Amino acid sequence: MPLIPLRTLLDHAAENNYGVAALNVNNMEQIQSIMEAARETDSPVIVQASRGARSYSQDAYLRHLMLAAAELYPDIPIVMHQDHGNSVQTCLSAIENGFTSVMMDGSLQEDGKSPSDYAYNVRVTAEVVRLAHARGVSVEGELGCLGSLETGMGEKEDGHGFEGKLSHDQLLTSPEEAAQFVADTGVDALAVAIGTSHGAYKFTRKPDGEVLAMAQIEKIHKRIPNTHLVMHGSSSVPQELQDLINKYGGQMKQTWGVPVEEIQRGIQHGVRKINVDTDNRMAITAAIRKVLWETPEKFDPRDYLKPARSAMQEICKQRMIQFGQAGHAPAVRKLVP
């Protein structure tokens, strides 16, 4: 089936009270992992690429990987999403390359590191909405800056993330401002800041309400109940994967991610898209380290990429089940002409 817009999938998710994992792709093995997990669980999927991924893989390779996935898995609805677009031009180039959904992250200026103001965010996001909707493409916006409520610092991902330290207010999305932003821009989904951040090093302890403001999600949802909310930086950073990486020669520092039960709480309060990347990276790395550690004589990349692919598939499968998207592919498929 053809690639579908994000809005179609998130509308169905809202009607049926589930969330959808948005899974990042850089190469063939990752898209294979995602699609096999989707097939196994009968799940619709959001496959997304950051600017860093587009630079690493090149748009033509990514586009054809997505098209291959649609061809090989005709029963799985797939959204092709641009993650953290830094400018109108970045989003437009994604649309021209066949993406069915784009994120305009106007919370930061075009340099991807300097916090913007509300007027700038509205201006660039509304322009992307105008261009995208004219082509049937969905748009995700962001209000508030992703960063740690513990330290006030951000965590760069593929070169995207604010520099320096921000105030507590800048790191929490205001429910009132969120409502105004949606009205001013017409976005299909809104990423909100609640203390999550990119990468593995999100929290120095198991997060509680002081550093992971899930109550803010509930306030925002109450204020704009018909807006699809998005949680970025929502990998759970499983302890078992940290342990495996370190067992086979890694040096990951102890860290904590976003507990799955907190994400499930968010889903009950309007969260429909949940970005997961670090968990998959860790699964791949742990599997590769294990092969190379235990069998140092091996040199064929397939010897370690096959178990790496299987390890990522298992994480994707777990999240699809935990977020509730499993089993919904047939119903979503019927929504597409």
> If you count DSSP H runs as helices and E runs as strands, how many of each does the chain have, helices first?
13, 8
DSSP sequence for 249-296: T--PPP-B---HHHHHHHHTTTEEEEEE-HHHHHHHHHHHHHHHHH-T
Of 11, 59, 75, 83, the active-site residue reads 83
C-alpha–C-alpha distance, residues 24 and 210, integer Å:
28
Distances in Å between the Cα of 230 and the Cα atoms of 1, 60, 188, 297 are 25, 27, 11, 44
Q: Which amino acid is residue 246, in one-letter code?
A: N
The identity of residue 237, as a single letter, is: V
**Catalytic site includes residue 83:** yes
CA dist., res. 157 & res. 105, Å (int)? 13
Name the residues annotated as catalytic.
83
